[in-house]
Amino acid sequence: MFESTKPEFSVVQFFTDGTRQYLRRSVMALEAVLALSSVCNGPTASLGLVVRVIVTDGTDHCVFEWTHPDGVVWPTEFKGSWKPTPMGGTVDRPN
């Protein structure tokens, strides 16, 4: 996600029965990341009750997706070509 100066992100979790719930609406990027991290690392995800979490931006584009049991969903062109680095390290982004 990019750094934004306005509250434009929403976080939605999807359950095994097909229902969904907004966890946050129109929040800053940091709050959205903290909310999705809480769900993805929480008991409902571990038990498989939450099967998908997305973050959308102000234009309703999906800017982050996590699925159970696969984890973070990367666009096809980036799969396998980028790895996160430890805190403070540099990141080689795909060209």
Name residues whose C-beta falls within 8 Å of residue 1's C-beta, 6 or more positions apart in sequence. Answer: 9, 29, 32, 33, 55, 57, 63, 64
State in Å, rounded, how far the first CA of the chain is from the last one. Answer: 17
Residue span of the structural domain in which 13 resides? 9-78
Asked, for residue 91, whether it belongs to a domain, the answer is no
Q: How many distinct structural domains can be found in the chain?
A: 1
pLDDT of residue 81: 54
Per-residue model confidence as pLDDT tens digits over 27-47: 999 999 999 999 999 999 999
Per-residue model confidence as pLDDT tens digits over 40-78: 999 999 999 999 999 999 998 888 999 998 888 876 665
User: pLDDT-derived band of residue 5, with 50, 70 and 90 as boundaries?
Assistant: confident
Asked, for residue 67, whether it belongs to a domain, the answer is yes
Asked, for residue 15, whether it belongs to a domain, the answer is yes
* Encoded tokens for 42: 């929480």
pTM value is 0.74
